[in-house]
Amino acid sequence: MSTRPTPGTESPAVEPRSPGAAAALGTRVVRHGSYEALAMLRNGEQLVLAIVLPLLALVALVITPLLDGYGASRIDIAAPGVLALCTMSTAFTGQGIATGFDRRYGVLRFLSTTPLGRSGLIFGKAVAVAVVLAVQLVVIGGTALLMGWSPLPAGILPAAVLLLVGSAAFTALGLLVAGTLRPEATLAVTNLVWILLAAAGGVIIPARSLPEIVQGFVAVLPSAALGDGLRTAFLDGALDPLACLVLLAWAALASLAAIRWFKWS
């Protein structure tokens, strides 16, 4: 910050003639997305939630008779549900907790004063979720393939659509929780909801095999829509339109609610 730069070295002077300029929007979003994705992948607890627990679930579902009687092999029923579980881990619980604490520490406020801005921050988070989800797909999906999973190739495109809409819905829900509750409460709520949905939300165990009283309720949950939708995609090679609509509705409602009620500080 010397006014007279030392010859031969570049001075870190703040030169009024070269005023600050923002990097391009895409650059900012991608950079922030990779920064957040790395932060998530480096965080031990997040990694347990994103990789270890889904892997354990996959193994448990294959070695126990829990999923017998659905017409397909255990792994073919289990793998799509575990991928739905992965989406919930990353987009809802992981992103929710990270955002909750960033909000507490004023990180959201600080970053929103940089050229990243509020919208860049949100888009960056979406990119981070997509990156981590891609890593999960490779690791969990790869493990499932090694365990004998044989997804229908025709189901890949419908599954990609559902994963995209599903991660949008769960990211919006995670941000809604993180932006309205204290971080400790966010931590508790997102973990509890993750466990409840994993156990009885139609993620791993198909909604139609749950007690009849709750079936109608569970069917409209984003968890059941994603779990059942992915099973339909990989087992039948088709896009479940109802599941897709349910997820779109959740994404839209949660986004609107987050825009309305999210508190930055």
Catalog residues that contact other proteins under the rule CB under 8 A.
Answer: 1-3, 10-16, 18-25, 27-28, 31-32, 35, 39, 43, 102, 105-117, 120, 263-265
Closer Cβ to other proteins, 10 or 212, answer by number: 10
Nearest distance in Å: CB 140, other proteins: 25
Q: Which helix (H) or strand (E) holds 162?
A: helix 156-180
Closer Cβ to other proteins, 6 or 212, answer by number: 6
15 CB-near residues (< 8 Å, 6+ apart): none
Rounded CA gap, 247 and 162, in Å? 8
Nearest distance in Å: CB 8, other proteins: 13
Closer Cβ to other proteins, 22 or 259, answer by number: 22
Nearest distance in Å: CB 89, other proteins: 19
Closer Cβ to other proteins, 32 or 74, answer by number: 32
Closer Cβ to other proteins, 28 or 231, answer by number: 28
CB 167 within 8 A of CB 91: yes
**Token pair 């289990």: residue:** 78
Nearest partner of 240 among 184, 172, 165, 171, judged by Cα: 165
Nearest distance in Å: CB 32, other proteins: 8
| Cα dist from 153 to 17, 40, 67, 99, whole Å | 57, 30, 22, 36
Closer Cβ to other proteins, 1 or 213, answer by number: 1
Nearest distance in Å: CB 43, other proteins: 7
Nearest distance in Å: CB 60, other proteins: 31
Rounded CA gap, 124 and 112, in Å? 12
Rounded CA gap, 94 and 100, in Å? 10
- Torsion sign (Cα): 207, 213, 219, 220: negative
Nearest partner of 76 among 87, 66, 63, 62, judged by Cα: 62
Nearest distance in Å: CB 26, other proteins: 12
- Torsion sign (Cα): 81, 121, 36, 95: negative
Closer Cβ to other proteins, 102 or 240, answer by number: 102
